[in-house]
Amino acid sequence: MPPQLKAEVNVMPKVVQGDLQSLPPEARHFIESNAKLCQPESIHICDGSEEENKKILDIMVEQGMIKKLSKYENCWLALTVPRDVARIESKTVIITQEQRDTTPIPRTGTSQLGRWMSEEDFEKAFNTRFPGCMQGRTMYVIPFSMGPIGSPLSKIGIELTDSPYVVASMRIMTRMGTAALKALSNGEFVKCLHSVGCPLPLKEPLINNWPCNPELTLIAHLPDRREIISFGSGYGGNSLLGKKCFALRIASRIAKEEGWLAEHMLILGITNPEGDKKYFAAAFPSACGKTNLAMMNPSLPGWKIECVGDDIAWMKFDEQGNLRAINPENGFFGVAPGTSVKTNPNAIKTIFKNTIFTNVAETSDGGVYWEGIDEPLPPGVTLTSWKNKDWTPDNGEPCAHPNSRFCTPASQCPIMDPAWESPEGVPIEGIIFGGRRPAGVPLVYEAFNWQHGVFIGAAMRSEATAAAEHKGKIIMHDPFAMRPFFGYNFGKYLAHWLSMAHRPAAKLPSIFHVNWFRKDSQGKFLWPGYGENSRVLEWMFNRIEGKASAKPTAIGYIPADTALNLKGLEDVNLTELFDISKEFWEKEVEEIKQYFEVQVNADLPYEIEREMLALEMRIKQL
């Protein structure tokens, strides 16, 4: 662990569940040294059982942290405080000896590709936060597996936390408990330490009975030591350390060292009417319908889509050269607003049992509600907002927080792929990048080759709602949809992706880019989206099979005139959907070039520079 102040009280707290002595020496040392530092009242080693889960939920009900939703089976509602509602990028850091190990050194300004903190600054931050931070609370020891237990692609972690909310959520999101401990035996594990930063007795009363310490929040990653240290936030992305912290930031660094990929990608299986099946991995920034695609009901007759995962993919080439992928998670931590029977019927069928909802609105009959749920309230049923106040549509603010969540077991999803927990993973034949681009970017195009595909991922941009001071929307760079999640220097990350082409016998997946969100001059979407997106997947599927026709353009291959199956669709303007405007793309090239020059600077691989120049030349010839 990091340097530690001598704890004033050097007494080991009592162990109320589990046997510390039976643990492997390194695990025991990790727990004991942090227990001496954080000084919890007791230690509880989690076994992941149903009985334990019931006790944890009871504790939270007693503390007022959650309430039971009487309308559903085993569903719960947690309301946080308004200052603890999302990941906080400004307080999420990576600690390495040199800044350049974490991010490229930008030509001007600060890096947008991660946040570095020096070892000295971290040591100070750690020592002002952790000594005595768990006083009066229980330290829960959560052994967990990212990925199916026993899979050669899986990794083990142990999270120490003083939050029962984290215990209940990690039980849904990971394979947690005794089985993970057994899988650890004497092997390596990622060390995760989390505290809400509210020792007892409290100095001031809690809001919503939600312990957190926003002033001192810090989420730190120490990749050289395989450690994650999080303080002050109870919110999922900052406290469920198996998720983005381990499965992307730390795992991407491990993947670089071990020769695989840890990516912010959904994984889906698609089967054609003849029964042939292919798996795709897809990277989208937030607000681009990632979970909707992972759980899509295809509109095309005879086609079937099944979900392997909706958020993270760990991918490694096997001895036969197939890129094998697992979903390291065990649950879905999905954004609730916008989820409805229309947008994602399979999510709706998944989330109404054994689920923890956070920061959604509550109906007076013991149910949940949010913007875009698309269901009228029954007569006489009223709403309480996520701020725990009576709510009506005249309130002028949303009833659910825009980042409110459901945390639900993946196994409940009606379209989970039969191989979603297969230890060897599923074979990926196509990789999809996408963004929300109202103008200029066609519905779908295919990369010319692997290097060009890596360039497309690096150049990803998407519309985002900007901070309040900029009114309206801006287009943001979000390479590989990994911008907030890179565990090391983005230039080196690109080189790692490019290196996959040099693996002996590697069957490199085809790479595509999609944009469901192009609009016409009246601001109307040109493409219906949702289940109709299966038509685009059909074209990709057939391209991989060598059956669909395509025509080359300046930016990649697009479907030939009749290659996209539009049967039964009316009023789709293909000319506008696939228009490649010289003026638009000259600006786009300029923006991408500028971003690479400033942000990636000296670390930009020459292959990406070459792709940039080649695109520029092709656009000039339009």
Q: Is the peptide bond before 2 cis (omega within 30 degrees of 0)?
A: no
Per residue in 549-587, pLDDT (tens digit) is 999 999 999 999 999 999 999 999 999 999 999 999 999
| Whether residue 439 has pLDDT greater than 70 | yes
* 505 phi-psi bin (left φ>0, alpha ψ -120 to 50, beta other): left
Cα–Cα nearest to 27, from 170, 184, 138: 184
H helix or E strand, kind and range, residue 273? none
The pLDDT of residue 466 is: 55
| Whether residue 7 has pLDDT greater than 50 | no
Q: Distance between CA atoms of 407 and 450, rounded to whole angstroms?
A: 36
pTM of the model: 0.97
| Whether residue 470 has pLDDT greater than 60 | no
At residue 9 the predicted structure's pLDDT band, cuts being 50, 70 and 90, is low
Q: Span 143-148, mean pLDDT?
A: 98
Token pair for 213: 């310490």
Q: What percent of the chain has pLDDT over 70?
A: 97
DSSP secondary structure letter of residue 249: I
Q: Distance between CA atoms of 364 and 416, rounded to whole angstroms?
A: 33
Contact predicate 61/341, CB 8 Å: no
CA dihedral 447, 536, 296, 377 (to 10 degrees): 120
Per residue in 539-557, pLDDT (tens digit) is 999 999 999 999 999 999 9
The pLDDT of residue 45 is: 98
307 is catalytic: no
Q: Distance between CA atoms of 386 and 369, rounded to whole angstroms?
A: 10
Token pair for 274: 């003849």
Q: Which of 212, 288, 399, 413 is catalytic?
A: 288
User: Within the chain, what is the greatest distance between any pair of CA atoms?
Assistant: 75
Query: What does pLDDT average to over the chain?
Result: 96
* 583 phi-psi bin (left φ>0, alpha ψ -120 to 50, beta other): alpha
| Whether residue 469 has pLDDT greater than 50 | no
Per residue in 481-498, pLDDT (tens digit) is 999 999 999 999 999 999
Q: What percent of the chain has pLDDT over 90?
A: 95
Per residue in 18-33, pLDDT (tens digit) is 999 999 999 999 999 9
Neighbours of 379 (CB within 10 A): 5
Contact predicate 356/78, CB 8 Å: yes
Per residue in 359-405, pLDDT (tens digit) is 999 999 999 999 999 999 999 999 999 999 999 999 999 999 999 99
Per residue in 318-354, pLDDT (tens digit) is 999 999 999 999 999 999 999 999 999 999 999 999 9
At residue 1 the predicted structure's pLDDT band, cuts being 50, 70 and 90, is low
Cα–Cα nearest to 126, from 44, 34, 248, 239: 34
Per residue in 187-204, pLDDT (tens digit) is 899 999 999 999 999 999
3-state helix vs strand vs coil in the chain, percent to 5: 30, 25, 45
